[in-house]
Each structure stands twice: as structure tokens, then as C-alpha cells.
A and B are shown apart, each in its own frame.
Chain A
Amino acid sequence: MTDVTTFDLADRTVRELNQALHDATSGAFRVTSPRGAHAVAAGIDAAIDVEIDGSVGYYCAGMHQQGTVRIDGNASTGLAENMMSGTVRITGSATMSAGATGHGGLLVVEGNAGARCGISMKGLDIVVGGDVGHMSAFMAQAGNLVVLGDAADDLGDSIYEAELYVRGSVASLGTDCVEKPVEAEHLATLTDLLERSGLDADPADFRRYGSARRLYNFHVDDIAAELAEGGATGIAAELAEGGATGNGAA
């Protein structure tokens, strides 16, 4: 870290900052006095290092690619939303929808993350040092969410193929989210993510959650076809089993 370009948002605009970050191909930047501004360091697509001294508003490091963003403070809604690659790290806490829809890279929240952390995530890895709020990993499609603290209600509701690891308590699991066994491969994933996040925890202390895959397809009955095939035995058997599963909650 030799040449660090400093942007003081007390007298420069977010537009000027972001344009400079978009024009850069390398180097390090320091942002001071962010004072809750929105879309700070959004749309980076270069191997640059950005350090933000203070708290930011919505969508900090939105759609982030390649570089590293470090926030010394807290962030509001949508931190690193839809990030693709690179690393985003926040020393404080993030409110709602941190890492929403992220496709790749690593997001580290050293404090707590609010509701809907990792919502619809699509391949991103998220490590949260503290707790996550309700509906975290809602409809999460791919990637890993690692929570060192507790998870609030409805964790992993309508989840697809993302993997969730929680060290503390889970208030409740959402629709179609179930606990799954932790195998060697999962321990390896956890070990790697904890190491890269720099957060201290024993991989053996985590429980794993994921999709029961019961919502993946509509349940379609066909009584007429069954009758044509010879008798109502199928339906009778199904009813006796209590197998009228319905169409799921989606």
C-alpha cells in the first residue's frame, strides 16, 4: 500500500468517487466521511482496494467485481447486493438484505446482519460473525451462508441449493428448509471460509441446513388416468397414507 488516493465525501460527490473507481485499473483508495451516503463504491470492476472509514447507506459495493472493499463502520440495506467476485468486508453490522442475489466472491460481516441476509443468493459466500435476522437465505439458490451467532425466524425459507451453516441457535426454519448432516466435504468448506474470513470458530461447532427439495415441482394428481389404468386402488392407498401433499406453499 504505497499510493493511496483519498476521497473525502465531505467535499466530493459519490458520483466523482464512483467514476474514479470505475476508471481505475489498479491501486488503493481511501474514502472518508461517507456519512451514510448511498451506492458508495458500487459497480467496481477492477483489482483495486477500497477502504471506507465510516458508515455507509444503501447498496454499498453493489454488484461488486474483482477488487476488495473494506468498510470500517456499519452499512444499511443491500450491502454488496448482487456481488459477482472479489471481497467485501465490514467491521460493523449490516442491516437488511446483505449480499442479496450475490453470484460470487466473499462477503464478510464481522458484526450482525439484519433480515434477509443472503436472500436469493446465487453462488456468493457470506460469513457473518454475529447473528442474522429473519428470512435469511430466503429462496437462496447457491453459495454458502456461515453464521457464527444465531439465526432468527424462517431461516432458508423456500431455499434451493445454497448451504447454510449456523453455530448458534436457529429460531425456526422456513418452509422446505431442513437440517442436514455435516460430512467431511462440508467441514472442508467451513474450514476454508472461516480461514478466508479471518473469523475464529471451530468448524465442528456448526450445524448444516439446506433444501428438502419438496417445493421443486408442482404436485399434479391425475385421478382420471389412474382410473383408466384399473381401479381406484392408487387413490385409496394414497388417501390412506395421508399423501395429499398439495402444491407447497409457494
Chain B
Amino acid sequence: MSDQWHLRESYTFDRNVIAEIQRAANTGIYRIRGWGAKRELPTLDDLVVLGASMSRYPLEGYREACGTDVVIGEGRAAKPVRLDIPVTIAGMSFGSLSAQAKEALGRGANAAGTSTTTGDGGMTPEERGHSRTLVYQYLPSRYGMNPDDLRKADAIEVVVGQGAKPGGGGMLLGQKINERVARMRTLPEGIDQRSACRHPDWTGPDDLEIKIIELREITDWQVPIYVKVGAARPYYDTALAVKAGADAVVVDGMQGGTAATQDVFIEHVGIPTIAAIPEATRALRELGVHRGEVKLIAAGGIRSGADVAKAMALGADAVSIGTAALIAIGDNDPVYDAEYRALGSAAGAWDDFQAGTDPAGITTQDPELASRLDPEIAGRRLANYLQVLTLEAQTIARACGKSHLHNLEPEDLAALTVPAAAMAKVPLAGTSWIPGMEHTAG
């Protein structure tokens, strides 16, 4: 039928592409949004776990112990961070999130025995109060940075970059810069905040080494220091972070979430998490600190216990979650579908974290919207979700015969696609072929 031919859409210029060109032509500004990369990318789903068989011995699912704890900073910090589960809550600022959302994250993390993290905007007394283990981010903007809060932190995370935008600074649009947020950041109310992308007083790994010493001096060597990088060159960044004296390296892949970033940044800068973890691990192994002195925390698109187990098998000691934690506390909840639709979106598609109009009361500073989120109920939801992630990861680890999650290893994995095999450096399923590796697996 010729009608059908007239309705043929272009693969190159599909509806989304056409809509974006039209939007750009109308507004003259790049698209800014929240969430992480939305296009199809190689993920941990492209890996499968090799359960026990004749040559491997599984553990009993309900009886035999499978450890999940992780300790960060042992050796250098007087008070290392001790987590019951290897799933941490990633840095998300008060400002990008409502006070209720921050409280919910703290409550959920406490119940599950893990840590939460501040963000680009400083530490609020409420989040300190609601988080038993709180990591304080040290960002290029230094908004709200002060030594009193630094000394209250259980760990310090020097943020070099973020997976959603390696090489980019923070962003918070005027709608969300209310009086309190403005005061915490020493900025005029209502401005479109574009924070610095480079640290103001150090450049390069040699400076960072001295910076870390300063932070340790100010805090009397009490707490561990992490370095967070967006995944671009994870092998070198991890090696340099170790050289600079980090106790943990956080590597955030390109799927990583954000509160507000240019869409072009989110979708096109950085490398996927599946490619980043093995490279970071390789650096730690070569320096002799893997599963030892320096811990690797992987982030970017972690959704399930399978992701946790696979990330750990690739070498991570723990993972960090942002988007999934927000969903667990109520983001994109179908009960708000009509309201999401009134805003031109839908439950399951909402990513306008920058807008401040979140019907679920999470990515907003509007007191009325924020009051919709009950921090206790939302905290319980997060605790439940964290428990499921842990149980799922343990299920997989036990099937591989591991008595601790950190005993998972690349040998427990196979890849479903050639790209995944090349990136993860595990053999293509059913073969011993690892593309790009001289020696193939046995």
C-alpha cells in the first residue's frame, strides 16, 4: 500500500530525533534533564553467572553463611567505615532532593546497615541526624563546605567526576534554588546554578595527594577518604587515585543518574559501567591493593542483586545506587501517573528531576509536593529493596559456592555478546574467547 510507504519513518531521523530538533529550534537551549543515559548500552545484563557444576560446589541457600560486609579505610583511618551490606546510597544533594527524600534515604540505609552520601550543596543537620554512616562529598563547587561538617562525617568523598557527566560540573536550575538552598550555597535565590567542574585549589594527581593529606590533617586521620570519578579512563584514574592516597575509589559508569545535566552529556560522554569496572579492577590488582587496602565502589545503572553480584565478580567491593534508591522511595510511582501525564510525561518515563515539579515529592523543593513523601514509609521501602538486593546477590554467590560476596570473581561470569565479552574481559558464553586478550580463558 502506498499509504504505508508515506508513513515510513526514518531510522536516522526517528521521532525522538525530530522532536529534539524542533525543541532546540524553538528554545535555543540544550535539553537539561535528570536520570541517566536512556539509550541502549551494553550492561551487566549482557553477562551471565556460571553456577556450580561438577567442578564447583554450591552452598546451601538457607543454611550456609554468605558474608556481605565491607570495611573501608582500615589501616589509614582511625575509624574505618563498616557496612553490613555492599550497597551504598550515592551522593545526591539536599537541593536536588527534598529534605523528606534525604531523610527517607537515611532511614532506609540505617535499617539496612549501609551509608548515605551528601551532595553538591553541603550537609544538612537533618541528614546527619538521619544517617548513621554519612559520607560527606568534597566537590569542585565547595558549596556549604566547612570544617565542622567535615569533622562530623564518617567518610569524605572527593568528587572528581560523575558518570552522567565526566568533565562537567553540577547544575541546579532556579526553580529549585529556594531561600534555604541558596543560603547553603551562598548564591542568589532563583539563579540557574552551574557549578564548577574543576577543583579550585588542585589540578592533577600530585596536587590531589597533598589535598588528601590536608583533609586527613584537618580531620586528625579519623575517617576514610574516597575519590569518585566518572568512568572515562578508569584504569588511569583508579591508579592515580590510589597513588594520591585514596581509601576507596568510586567509579561511576555512563548510565549513572543525575539531578540535572545536559542530555548530550548524559547520552554521549563516558563509558558504560560494564566496561569501567574491569579496568578499575585491573589498576588495583597491578598495584597490589585489590580486595585489600583500597576498595572499589562501582556505580551507574545498578538495579538488582544480579547487578550487585556481577559488579562484585568483576572486582567491585561494593556498589552505589542513586536512581534505583529514588525509585524505591517512590519516584515514578504509578499512583501519580495522572500527574506525571499532566506534566507531559508518565509514570515510568519521568526524568524531569531538574524541574522541581516532582509529583512524588522527591526531586523538589516545593513544600507541598515534598510533604507528600512520608520519610518513614519511604525509608522502609528502601530498606526492603536493599534487603532484596542483598538476598539476590547472596543467592547468586551461594550458587557459585562463595561464602562471601567478595569471593565472587570474573571466572564466575560469561558474556552473552561479543562487546560485553570484550569490555568485561570474560569469555563469550560457550567459548573460551575473550576478544582482545592474548590468552583465552580455559
Q: A residues near B, CB below 8 A? A: 14-15, 18-19, 22, 38-39, 42-43, 45, 57-59, 62-63, 65, 77-78, 81-82, 84, 96-97, 100-101, 103, 116, 119-120, 122-123, 138-139, 141-142, 160-161, 216-224, 244, 246-247, 250
Do B217 and A18 touch across chains, with their CB atoms under 8 A apart?
yes
Do A119 and B146 touch across chains, with their CB atoms under 8 A apart?
no
Q: A77-B207, A142-B186, A222-B27 are in contact. List 5 more A-B contacts (CB 8 A).
A: A43-B217, A58-B214, A77-B202, A81-B201, A116-B201
Contacts of A244 in B (CB 8 A): 28
Give 16 CB contacts A-B under 8 Å: A42-B214, A43-B219, A58-B214, A59-B210, A65-B147, A84-B146, A101-B142, A119-B201, A120-B141, A161-B188, A216-B191, A219-B29, A220-B28, A222-B26, A222-B27, A223-B26
Contacts of B219 in A (CB 8 A): 43
Compute how far the CA of A77 lies from the CA of B218 in the bound complex, rounded to whole angstroms: 17
Compute how far the CA of A156 lies from the CA of B91 in the bound complex, rounded to whole angstroms: 30
Write the chain A residue with the least CB distance to B193: A216
Q: B283 within 8 Å of A by Cβ?
A: no
Q: How large is the interface on B (under 10, 10 to 19, 20 to 34, 35 or more residues)?
A: 35 or more
Q: B196 within 8 Å of A by Cβ?
A: yes
Contacts of B150 in A (CB 8 A): 63
Write the chain B residue with the least CB distance to A141: B186
Contact status of A123 and B186, CB under 8 A, knowing A39-B210, A217-B192: yes
Q: B residues near A, CB below 8 A? A: 25-30, 141-142, 145-148, 150, 173-174, 185-188, 190-192, 194, 196, 200-202, 207, 210-211, 213-214, 217-221
Contacts of A65 in B (CB 8 A): 147
Do B210 and A141 touch across chains, with their CB atoms under 8 A apart?
no
Selected from B28, B194, B200, the residue in CB contact (under 8 A) with A101 is B200
Compute how far the CA of A122 lies from the CA of B195 in the bound complex, rounded to whole angstroms: 13
Do A59 and B26 touch across chains, with their CB atoms under 8 A apart?
no
Write the chain B residue with the least CB distance to A247: B29
Do B201 and A38 touch across chains, with their CB atoms under 8 A apart?
no
Do A160 and B196 touch across chains, with their CB atoms under 8 A apart?
no
Write the chain A residue with the least CB distance to B28: A221
Contacts of A123 in B (CB 8 A): 186
Do A120 and B200 touch across chains, with their CB atoms under 8 A apart?
yes
Do B26 and A224 touch across chains, with their CB atoms under 8 A apart?
yes
Contacts of B217 in A (CB 8 A): 14-15, 18, 39, 42-43, 62
